[in-house]
Amino acid sequence: MPPHPSLPIHPGQWARPLLHWWVGWWQIVHFGAQVAVLALAPSSYRRTQRALLVRSMYLATWPLLPGFTVLAALIALVIIRIVLATSLSYGLTRYALDVLVRTLVLELIPLSAALFVAVRYSLRAGEEIRAMRLQGKFETQLASGLDPTRDAVLPRALAGMFAVITLATVSGAVTLLLAYVSLYGFSTWGLEAFTRTVGQVFGPTIVLIFALKTAFLSLGVSIIPMVPLPHEGKGAAAQASADLALLARLLAVILLIEVGSLVGNYY
Amino acid sequence: MDPQPETAPPVAHLDLKARLLVLCVLLLIAASVTYVLYARGAFERKQTLVLVAENSEGVVVGMDLTFAGFAIGRVNRIELSDEGNARIVVDVPSKDAHWLRESSIFTMEKGLVGATHIRAFSGILTDPPLPDGAVRKVLSGDASTEIPRLVASARDLVVNLTALTAADAPLANSLRNVQTATERLNGPRGALGMALGNDADANKIVSALDRTNTLLARLDRLVVKADGLAAKADTQVFGASGVMSETRATVVQLNGLLADARNSLRRADALLQEAQGIASNTREATTDLGALRAEVEASLRKVEHLVNEVNRKWPFARDTEIKLP
């Protein structure tokens, strides 16, 4: 009988990528659970800790707020004009506001706010945490009785979450204002109809999904960049590969949350 | 521990700004939530209206009830009744409830494009207002239900058209006949050839027409002769010594005769009047004769009585007859 032509497979070789995939996700979940426990613990909000948290929130949010608001307003204005012109040409202006609120306020703005905060703040904060780990500051703090997760990670995570929520809220309000002005001009006669339409869009289910989506997006972009990597400190190539894997996981989480919200809203 | 890198410049009044930012964001979130609650009608006094429909297809929670194009209510709940109907529970704000009256009619329209619309129509705004919790039947009009009927009609139409336009269809045969007729119409015999179908009959018609023309020419000559006869008859009848003038003279004579007859009758009338006088005199004489007769009869009775007396006294004579003078 001739020998089998296929390459020999070592036992456990096929399971290694799967194991790496699972370990990577488990680290994210485990680290997220640690941060969530700390975020819910009253000891994390002592007087000194509160001041640190508030400062972190300000420093994470304020530098991003004007730029993102202007950018979001410009993009929203373009989309509003496109939707209005299209609906006008098809005689469907009564649905224009509905489409705008759903498209911009519910979907695009939270997503873009999360991505903006991830790029401009969270990835940098993750680098700082990683640098602290590599420099051994975590061990030093633990040895001196301090909790580096509570003192270094939690403020950055909460600051990132706050930044996402703030950017989304402010840009959403600005977009609603722009939509009203584009539809009715600088007058108040359309306020009632506008409010009624907005109320129709923001049903209880939609509001719940919107709130959960924003919360999970902010949580994802704030925590995932700070998750400890398995290859930290094992060379530049391994570091780059781990960074890419982290970024891919961040995008996958954002995509998953977005798809989940769309399914919840429209199915 | 400062989470920011050491190269970041220090921020003046960082704590104050940070607290202000957090406060503003919290206020903005609270205002957004309040606005959404207000937009959902959470702070309005409402009354309930229950619309009963055969089915709730196209109706969603949150859709509007409109009156004259303005939203005056919002669907709050949709439920299935014990009778198998859809109960659409509509919340109507108290400030808009006055548009709904006892006589209001509610319709549910489903268009081919766009959402279903629930509309209210109040014809008599002086009717009593609709009470809270009123239950009304909704009239539904569904454009999409017409589509199957329309498709069936269109299919019948297409089948009929196919049958009409088939190669062996009566219409095609008719058109072929029309084409043949047109060709014959354009042929040498024209419409006559088309009407008769063959040249022999057409020739007969042509010869008949020729003979008719000959006949008409003879008729013309006859008419000329008849005109001459008529002129002569006119002279005979209406001429100076014609029948008419003699007839007129006869009539004059007849008038004279009639006048004479009238005079004779007048004289006869006078004679009759005289005869009537004579008759009246005779009647009077007859009356006098009656009186005379009565007297004679009285005298006769007296004579008879006298004879009877003589006879009684003179028994010899048996002849009782009395001879009158």
Structural domain contains residue A21 = no
Final residue before a domain boundary, out of B118, B142, B166: B142
Looking at the predicted structure, is the pLDDT value of residue B6 above 80? Answer: no
B68 touches chain A (CB under 8 A): no
**Spatial distance between the Cα atoms of B41 and B59, rounded to a whole number of angstroms:** 19
A155 touches chain B (CB under 8 A): yes
| Shortest CA distance from B41: residue in chain A | A199
Percent of chain A with pLDDT over 70: 92
Are B137 and B155 in the same domain?
A: no
Final residue before a domain boundary, out of B196, B229, B259: B196
Domain count across chain A: 1
Confidence band, pLDDT 50/70/90 cuts, at residue A142: confident
Percent of chain B with pLDDT over 90: 23
Nearest of B44, B45, B46, B48 to residue B133 by alpha carbon:
B48
Across the interface, whether the CB atoms of A207 and B17 are under 8 A apart is answered no
A198 touches chain B (CB under 8 A): yes
CA of B158 vs chain A CAs: smallest distance (Å): 32
Look at residue B70 and give its three-state secondary structure.
Answer: strand
Structural domain contains residue B63 = yes
Radius of gyration from C-alpha coordinates of chain B: 65
Residues of B in contact with A92 (CB under 8 A): 114
pLDDT of residue B4: 46
Confidence band, pLDDT 50/70/90 cuts, at residue B316: low
Residues 208-267 (A) with a CB less than 8 A from some CB of B: none
CA of B125 vs chain A CAs: smallest distance (Å): 24
B123-168 pLDDT tens trace = 888 888 888 889 988 887 766 666 777 888 889 999 988 888 888 8
Across the interface, whether the CB atoms of B3 and A203 are under 8 A apart is answered no
Q: How far is CA B268 from CA B62, B263, B277, in A?
A: 123, 9, 14
Are B51 and B71 in the same domain?
A: yes
Structural domain contains residue B235 = no
Percent of chain B with pLDDT over 70: 91
B278 touches chain A (CB under 8 A): no
Predicted ipTM beyond 0.90? no
A10-63 pLDDT tens trace = 656 777 788 878 888 888 888 889 888 988 888 888 888 888 888 899 999 999
Lowest mean pLDDT among B50-64, B198-212, B278-292, B309-323: B309-323
CA of A58 vs chain B CAs: smallest distance (Å): 5
Structural domain contains residue B181 = yes
Residues of A in contact with B38 (CB under 8 A): 195, 199
Are B68 and B155 in the same domain?
A: no
**Spatial distance between the Cα atoms of A102 and A209, rounded to a whole number of angstroms:** 12
pLDDT of residue B144: 66
Highest-confidence segment of A36-40, A125-129, A213-217 = A213-217
pLDDT of residue B2: 45
Structural domain contains residue A191 = yes
Structural domain containing residue A48: 44-266
Structural domain contains residue B55 = yes
Looking at the predicted structure, is the pLDDT value of residue B322 above 70? Answer: no
A166 touches chain B (CB under 8 A): yes
Structural domain containing residue B163: 150-196
Check: CB of residue A223 under 8 Å from CB of residue A126: no
B86-99 pLDDT tens trace = 999 999 988 888 89
Nearest of A202, A213, A252 to residue A111 by alpha carbon:
A213
Looking at the predicted structure, is the pLDDT value of residue A263 above 80? Answer: yes
Domain count across chain B: 2
pLDDT of residue B273: 92
Structural domain contains residue A100 = yes
Residues of A in contact with B25 (CB under 8 A): 61, 162, 165-166, 169-170
Question: Residue B286 is encoded by which pair of tokens?
Answer: 């007859």
Structural domain contains residue B228 = no
- The burial class, CB within 10 Å (0-12 / 13-18 / 19+), for A60 is buried
B6 touches chain A (CB under 8 A): no
Radius of gyration from C-alpha coordinates of chain A: 23
Structural domain contains residue A80 = yes
> Mean of the per-residue pLDDT values for chain A?
87
Q: What share of chain B is helix, strand, coil (3-state, %, to 5)?
A: 55, 15, 25
10 Å Cβ neighbour count for B260?
A: 9
Check: CB of residue A146 under 8 Å from CB of residue A49: no
**Spatial distance between the Cα atoms of A212 and B2, rounded to a whole number of angstroms:** 30
Q: Higher pLDDT residue, B223 or A241? A: B223
Confidence band, pLDDT 50/70/90 cuts, at residue A4: very low
A154-184 and A204-223 helices cross at what angle (nearest 10)? 140
CA of B90 vs chain A CAs: smallest distance (Å): 14
Structural domain contains residue B70 = yes
Residues of A in contact with B35 (CB under 8 A): 195, 198
| A57, A125, A170: residue with CB nearest B28 | A170
Count of pairs with CB atoms under 8 A, one residue in A, one in B: 83
Across the interface, whether the CB atoms of A162 and B36 are under 8 A apart is answered no
pLDDT of residue A92: 84
Q: How many helices (H) and strands (E) does chain A have?
A: 12, 0
B23 touches chain A (CB under 8 A): no
Residues of A in contact with B4 (CB under 8 A): 59
Are B106 and B58 in the same domain?
A: yes
Across the interface, whether the CB atoms of B3 and A58 are under 8 A apart is answered no
Rounded to the nearest angstrom, the gap between the alpha carbon of residue A22 and the centroid of all alpha carbons in its chain is: 22
Across the interface, whether the CB atoms of A199 and B63 are under 8 A apart is answered no
Across the interface, whether the CB atoms of A165 and B114 are under 8 A apart is answered no
Structural domain contains residue A69 = yes
Structural domain contains residue A204 = yes
Confidence band, pLDDT 50/70/90 cuts, at residue A113: very high
Mean pLDDT, residues B277-302 taken together: 88
B22-68 pLDDT tens trace = 899 999 999 999 999 998 888 888 899 999 988 888 888 888 899 98
Mean pLDDT, residues A120-147 taken together: 86
Structural domain contains residue B138 = yes
Looking at the predicted structure, is the pLDDT value of residue A200 above 90? Answer: no
Confidence band, pLDDT 50/70/90 cuts, at residue A231: low
B62 touches chain A (CB under 8 A): yes
Looking at the predicted structure, is the pLDDT value of residue A256 above 50? Answer: yes
pLDDT of residue B315: 57
Structural domain contains residue B167 = yes
A68 touches chain B (CB under 8 A): no
Structural domain contains residue A174 = yes
Are B104 and B182 in the same domain?
A: no
Percent of chain A with pLDDT over 90: 45
B25 touches chain A (CB under 8 A): yes
A135 touches chain B (CB under 8 A): no
| Shortest CA distance from A55: residue in chain B | B18
